[in-house]
Structure 1
Amino acid sequence: MAKAQTQTGSKAIRAIFADAKAAAEDSGQFLDPDPNLPRDGIKPGQWEGAPHDRLPPACPVTVIGRDAEGTVYCTTATNDFRAIERWDAPTLTGLFAPYLNTMMWAWPAFGEAKVFDPDTGEERKMLVVKRIEIQKVMMALQAEAARRPLFDPAKQRRGRGGWRDKQDGFIWHSGSWLWSSVGKGTHTKLERAKPGEHEGFLYTRQASAIEPWREHVTQEESPARRILADVDTWNWQRKYLDPILLVGWIATAIMGGALKARPVVFTTGGKGVGKSTLQELLQNALDQVVTTSVNTTAAGIYQRAKWDSLPFMVDELESKPGSTRAESVIELARVAYTGGDISRGGQDHEATSFKAQQSFLFSAINAPPMGSQDKSRMAVLNLSQLDKKNGIGRKVVLKAETDGRMMLRQIMDGWQDFNERLLPNYWEALAAQGLDARAIDTFGTLLAAAELLCGPAALEDLGLPVTDHVRLGEIVAAATAVERAETMDNWHACVDHLFQSSIEAWRDGVKPMIGGIAEAMLADNKPYPEGMTASDARARLSLVGLGAIDRRKVAPDVGPCIAVPADSPQLRRIFADTDWHKGVWFSALKQAPADIVLRDKGNHQVVKINGSAKRCLLIDLEAFMKFAQGVE
């Protein structure tokens, strides 16, 4: 593998000096003069537009807008987000602190006070600012909110993490600053701005996450190469692929909300495979970025995440009898994959909404049951037991204070290359091998992200020929074939469930499977019981509410068919406790290709089942079997 190193020498010194310089600049002097003194020649309460036609000059509070219910949204003097529903002294103090003198100067309430007169040397009574006019403050802020567009925090607020702007650029919200990279190649520089409104989105101050490394980081200097060398020492099922996918997830975890698809990674393995050490490595690589949890719930995650796009790692996500905890967490990851909306009721019966845009990594001994919609968004990385004597055979190096920052800088500087070259290259290579769009979004994104950090040479050293697109596509397609085979289309899974069901009431104690009957109908040129005509099959299938039609009876090019009605007591029992219960199977089958599930054959679709004529969908068994076997 290409030698892993890190940034040292003058570049590292410049980066450290830039950190110190920025820290000194950020600790600026706080100024808030006496509210009785004029400001730029303007006396207290006498600014143009006072008290509510406009906000006072240099107002430290920014009014964002209001919603249709009248809640006013502001950013405070310290750039924190507030939803204002009460207009009392504590609320207004929280808005303007620490610039309380400014609030008193803008909306003063005067009162008499004894003031020392230096000219006479005596005390005399004067009108001075003693407090604020709460009603006037409220009127000014309400009026400003009414002049602004309506604001929806669920759709327009963005927290910490990576984001995409309207020019497809990358923005990093570190909590205190918004960061972007300008320039190309090695000639890039960082720009930062205070959080605020940007292109229709509101970024507000939050607890600090990492800030990007102050110097450009090359792939040779990237800590991702060292991390790749570390994770390569685990006993992966696919040593040429799984370590790369894991490093790719580290990059996509940082990218967060800037991605159009956020792949999920699930690591599995029993005792002694090194899951705990692996978690420690990832946690250090993403220090101050990732949230780690054990045995958590979906509610716990979205209450913590809210508007952030920062990643989550969940250990011990095991499925337990009688519990849906694991399934609900995986459902949340599925929603976050493409940035879906989450709405949950609150104690006051008001819904809380936000957009889930986080990356997830799970680990468990056994992955919990998942539907195809979950598996298609996930790369499952299986670990085998390590050598009991040597363990992973390498001392893992952890540099939490610099690793994440350097990789973030790589992502910021390489974002355009990632979007315009790497992602299209992997899309082309994987699409040529027949991978569908969802699989490419999952595996292609992880591979492109890994190459962005480590470079092609490091990936090829592990055995993945990323510069040979044909061979690359073949290897990834073969390596992921089993996972992708588990992600059936909805209609296909419905037919599969039907065919795996048994005919309980058949005589002689035999309970044939519906799929077995289908295979016998396809062999109708062979003698019974290996082959079966529609007449033979009909007697069996009618016991589960299905019908049978002979080959070429519907059309010359149509094979033997099984007729599925929209409703029957027997089918309701077969599909009970599935996604296709209560007749949903009928609409699911309509999602199939028109040459597999026939729906436009007129009276041929009216089939007599158990003495009742029913309009059915017809499963062409020959077309279905060819599809299931991958035969064009």
Structure 2
Amino acid sequence: MTAGEGGKKPSLRVLKGELESAPEAAAPGGQGAGQELSDKARDHVEKTTGKRPGKRQGPPSGDARPGEIWRDCPVKALGVHGATSWYVDWLGQVRDVRKHDRDTILHIFGGREDVLRQHYKRTTKGGDVVIGWDQAKAAAAMQRAAAEQGIWNPLQRLRGLGAWLDGDGGVILHCGDAILHRGEWRDPGEIDGYVYPSDARIPRPLAPDAKTEGAAGKLMAYLESWRWQRGELDAILLLGWMGCAMFGGALRWRPLVWLTGDAGTGKSTLQDLIGHVLGGEGALLQSSDATAPSLWQTLGCKSLPVALDEVEPDVDARSKLTAIIKFARQAASGGLVMRGGADHKGQEFRARSCFLLSSILRPAMLDQDLSRMALLELDQLGRGAKSPVIRPDEMRRIGQALRTRILLRWGDWGETLELYRAALAGKGHSARGADQFGTLLAMADLCLRDTVPTPAWCETWAEKLAAHVITDQVDQARDWQRLAGHLLTQQLDPWRKGVRYSVASLCMAAADIGTFKDGRAPSIEPQEANGILRDSGLLVEGRGFEARLLVANRHAQLSKLLENSIWWAPPGQTGVWMQSLRRVPGAEASAGRRFGGFNVRCISVPLPTLLELQPEGDEPSPPDLSGPPDPAEDWID
């Protein structure tokens, strides 16, 4: 109601009702602001607050869409997570804001003071002259828009550079300044509930009608010019890795490759080729001196590949290398990395990158780690031979062609992968091995062939990559066998007649069983040998091939023998060695025995099994590997 209606002066109740019906009018710029006020209502606000509101502040009520600070605002609110508000800024970047100060708001709006002044005016007392923009009102509007969007977790909804899957299993390719989805290029922003922020541009695929058929073949010709230990097979696996590296975020399993070779094998030139094919700086994270925290902080929400050179065994950098290898394993399966922050709040990061590590020598690793990577080894180039000449522009063009080809054939990916996985499983590979090598072979197939392979074709390659070909590079002993090898070769401190005995020789003497490799029997009496063993938490009961070794659950000297191994435990705690020994065929829990005056519970295992000894006349048989699988081998799941 206005003063002109019927010539009556509006009552305070009427003015109050009018103000309540447009609550944002007194707070210019608020979301939903802008309902018209009568002159009398504006007079009343000015009289009571000292400030005169404009007739319309910001967009009309209800005009702004979800996430918009005002209608068609280039800056969009994403939501709130804890004390942080999240926005897409003027340039399309995702920004986390805790303090909405003047400089932060101005930076988010790309320095456009004119735009802020238009929506959040600061005027002179009379309201006639605009003297700037109101930071408090802009901050309130931004925070309100973010809060109305609700809780927003960047870990779950933010996707950076690289390839990703949409809800239908198709590929979304984030190239920095544009997003390719269902054959169309789109500006960075929100797609199906995920936010793809703008970033530095990385190489795009070629046009769909570009010639791509010969690109993979040409790249294979380059790769085969190096001398691989397994020839064409290793070259195929590396080709497959490069294809996987481009589409890592869209894969269920991201293969890990370790490249080794001595000086003079052309390893550095090969690294250069890989870098150019994958798009060079920006499209590939390369380093020769990285740490695990630096990698996951640099990658953030991206699914870009990682290539690390000179990952050499180093006593001083052992913990750093262990952390990098662990991070690469987590990335293979898309594992969740959780770290504490400087603000005492946890940080989460999901790794989705394909890793390639290279070195002259590989650092020591657990067998279950080695079995989860493709080990590609280079031999010396022939006399007078040189690494091929690499033309960066040609390699980048090949990389673009591979991206195009993989996109065009993506509809065949699932079927191709399952065919190779089934073929590899038939050749003795575990489920994880089939994931690792099936993914590499299937991606190489996608690059080189035009149709889905036949089962017979897949079996041909699976035969070349049968499980024994991989396990030749890895000691496939069970965990308890590795423990036995470590423990039985330890030498105990007491000397007897100028001889220092190993645990194995003392066990043989105590059981009166077997001889050394040179045919000599242990030159120590059984009772004396058992006395030395007992001091270290070990005890032999029985004789000959019926003898059993009792191992204390807890013992300080036994802890020392296993120090710096994965089976160690601090004195006074149940040893990790107990978990491993329970897996020995024929192992049994045993009542307590006295070690050093104290009664300690034990586990009893057949001594000949640990020593891998058979009675005379019996044919030696290989270790029994048909028992229950080692739980440690499935840790990554």
Give the TM-score category using the shorter length.
Answer: 0.7 to 0.9
User: TM-score scaled by structure 2?
Assistant: 0.77
Structure 2 residue ranges without an equivalent (≥5): 1-33, 37-54, 613-620, 628-637
* Correspondence for 1:615 among 564, 578, 601: 601
- Aligned partner of 1:67 in structure 2 is 81
Mapped pair 1:134 → 2:135: yes
- Structure 1: distance between partners of 2:524 and 2:243: 56
Q: 1:316 matched to which residue of 2?
A: 310
Residues 288-297 or 528-537, more deviating: 528-537
Match of 1:341 among 336, 339, 348: 336
Q: Determine the structure 2 residue equivalent to 1:566.
A: 553
CA 1:126/1:539 → structure 2, altered by over 3 Å: closer, same or farther? closer
Q: Residues 265 and 381 of structure 2 are in contact (CA less than 8 Å); yes or no, is this contact kept in structure 1?
A: yes
For 1:270 and 1:594, the matched residues in 2 are separated by 39
Does the CA contact (< 8 Å) of 1:265 and 1:360 recur in 2? yes
Distance 1:285 1:575, change over 3 A: same
SS at match of 2:302: coil
Post-superposition shift, 1:365?
Answer: 1.6
Cα distance in 1 for partners of 2:210, 2:478 equals 43
User: Residue 566 of structure 2 corresponds to which residue in structure 1?
Assistant: 579
Change (3 A) 1:468 1:80: closer
Whether 1:493 aligns to 2:498 is no
Q: In 2, Cα distance between the equivalents of 1:162 and 1:388?
A: 42
- Residue 269 (structure 1) aligned to one of 261, 264, 274: 261
Q: CA deviation at 1:205?
A: 0.9
The RMSD of aligned alpha carbons is: 3.8
Query: Counterparts in 2 of 1:154-553, with a 5 A limit?
Result: 154-181=155-182, 190-215=183-208, 220-221=213-214, 223-288=215-280, 289-324=283-318, 325-344=320-339, 351-392=346-387, 394-396=388-390, 398=392, 399-418=394-413, 420-455=414-449, 467=457, 469=459, 472-473=462-463, 475-485=465-475, 490-505=479-494, 507-515=496-504, 524=513, 529=521, 538-539=530-531, 541-550=533-542
Native 8 Å contact 1:257 1:309 kept in 2: yes
Question: Distance in 2 between the 1:539 and 1:217 partners?
Answer: 79
Cα distance in structure 2, aligned partners of 1:76 and 1:587: 52
Distance 1:381 1:456, change over 3 A: farther
Structure 2: which amino acid aligns with 1:485?
A: D
Q: Distance in 1 between matches of 2:485 and 2:217?
A: 44
Q: How big is the shift at 1:43? A: 5.4
Q: How does 1:77-116 map to 2 (within 5 A)?
A: 77-97=90-110, 100-111=113-124
The code of the aligned residue for 1:110 comes to T
Match of 1:467, SS?
Answer: helix
Partner of 1:446: helix, strand, or coil?
A: helix
Alignment-mate amino acid for residue 547 of structure 1: L
- Tell me the alpha carbon deviations over residues 482-539 of structure 1, each in whole angstroms, 9 at most, x when there is no partner: 23425x5555533432233233325233334334566789995999938999978744
The 2-side partners of 1:518 and 1:264 are apart by 42
Q: Distance in 1 between matches of 2:260 and 2:291?
A: 19
Deviation at 1:567, TM superposition (A): 1.1
Percent identity reads 27
Q: Deviations over 1:529-565 (max 9, x none)?
A: 389999787445324211234489xxxxx96432222
Task: Find the residue that maps to 2:317 and give its secondary structure.
Answer: coil
Query: Any gaps of 5 or more consecutive residues in structure 1?
Result: 1-38, 113-124, 182-189, 553-557
1:208 partner letter: R
- Residues 46 and 421 (structure 1), Cα distance of their counterparts in 2 relative to 1, 3 Å cut: closer
Q: How far 1:573 moved relative to its partner?
A: 0.6
2: distance between equivalents of 1:562 and 1:388? 56
**The residue matched to 2:499 in structure 1 has which SS?**
coil
Question: Contact between 1:342 and 1:353, CA under 8 Å: does it hold in 2?
Answer: yes
Per the alignment, do residues 589 and 231 of structure 1 end up closer, same or farther by CA in structure 2, a change over 3 Å counting? farther
Deviations along 1:171-205, whole A, 9 cap, x unmatched?
A: 22111222234xxxxxxxx1233333345533211
Question: What is the TM-score normalised by the length of structure 1?
Answer: 0.77
The 8 Å contact of residues 100 and 139 in structure 2, kept in 1 or not, is answered as: yes
What amino acid sits opposite 2:551 in the alignment? V
Contact in 2 for aligned 1:533/1:550 (Cα 8 Å)? no
Shift of the 406–48 alpha-carbon distance from structure 1 to 2, 3 Å rule, reads same
Check conservation: 2:258, 2:374, Cα contact below 8 A: yes
Alpha-carbon distance in 2 for matches of 1:608, 1:528:
31
Query: Partner residue of 1:56?
Result: 70
1:83 Cα offset (Å) = 0.8
Partner secondary structure for residue 217 of structure 2: helix
Q: What's the offset of the Cα at 1:254? A: 0.9
Provide the C-alpha distance between the structure 2 equivalents of 1:156 and 1:433, rounded to a whole number of angstroms: 40
Mark the CA change 1:477 to 1:52 in structure 2 (over 3 Å): closer, same or farther. Answer: closer
**CA offset digits 1:420-463 (Å, max 9, x no partner):** 22221222222223222332222222122211112399x99xxx
Q: How many residues align?
A: 556
1:297–1:48 Cα change, 3 Å: same
User: Measured at CA, do residues 597 and 219 of structure 1 come closer, stay the same or move farther in structure 2, by a change above 3 Å?
Assistant: farther
Q: In the TM superposition, what is the alpha-carbon distance from 1:51 to its structure 2 partner?
A: 11
| 1:46–1:157 Cα change, 3 Å | closer
Change (3 A) 1:534 1:104: farther
What is the CA–CA distance in structure 1 between the aligned matches of 2:411 and 2:242, rounded to whole Å? 18
